[in-house]
Structure 1
């Protein structure tokens, strides 16, 4: 069942999202060659807790960290580790914050050092597709309109959409109804109404759309080991507008590629 939020509850989610955005910004300062991904996780957790939030992911169904850190061919749900970032890597950082009873969720994919032009194009297209989807996330449309617009945009550029993993509603729970696929038919799925809060998150592959789950039960990678990109925002639906509650502003101010 979809949980509709009051305007007051959406304001709390927006506060959670500000903590999240600033945590991403702190992490962004340290995304560079020679850095262990586990150190990025420590930075995020300390920042979130210092600002009266709780990392949404840590302990969620046994997940061991505050960040999902997914490098190169890892699509999502990678573990922070002793892996050292190197020139030419891409790294997707996904984070959630629980604050005053509500979750926010966002993700961003970074290039590390000199990344090949074709992979930079993948990142740019995936990021753009997020906003293409958000343009359709308006009162009176349906969930399928979001996914259809992302799918058409991405496939026209020759990339593939991961089908098994989807965006979602969120609020008091990290994952709520409805599911928000990044593909689908126009006019299908739940109708978008006042008070719906959605995490929209395209996951786009350079090669095949097929994925594999690693033995750790979490890490998802591309079957052909080609790179994958992931961007995400939390948005709220109102009758007269759609608000992007999360922000990538602090990332883009602080990241030095």
Structure 2
């Protein structure tokens, strides 16, 4: 089957699938490009036509996983909206105003479930250097989170002064909780407790953002490989591409 996929021109995708399987079996570092090639049924020289090294294969896999995660989180937010909204637009607006945080809570739960259900692959993209300023990820999980925070700010559920950099403030505790859970440092009793803990972390973080005192100067700038890439593209006058906010709004 692997060779058939290759002969149909899907060698790159087949190598990514093989690498993802190896990550689940052996972790992020316990395999080689040669092993991924053998699993697909091709020689390493054939694999080199698509990936110059194991590192480039890992980078491409990380980008694919992050894109998949971004889509998962965006879908979780939209599903949360549909589950509590009547078909009538007025009723939907009323419900969103009554509990504007439910979409972000769904995002946090989605992130945690993803990490817990696929810990080896999650660790791959958690690793420093998994992606870089030239990576192409769409929709990026950061952009999905940013779109939800923009939505809260537009609704008046997040103070405008607290919006800059809030992505990193929200990401830190939910990511920390994910790492603690997959490392076994903390445990929850059941699925309901799992979801409630995610909700508590999100609500507590948003409450803190809503009541934080204004700093004497600006809040410190925080960067990631993704934000640096977007900043670089913007400075060069290039089209950054549709952000998650655009993608989410297209679905409304």
Q: TM-score range by the shorter chain?
A: under 0.3
Report which of the two has the higher share of strand. 1
Q: TM-score, normalised by structure 2?
A: 0.25
Instruction: Give 1 or 2: higher helix fraction.
Output: 2
TM-score for the superposition, normalised by structure 1: 0.25
Structure number with higher relative contact order (C-alpha < 8 Å, ≥ 6 residues apart) = 1
Structure index of larger Rg: 2
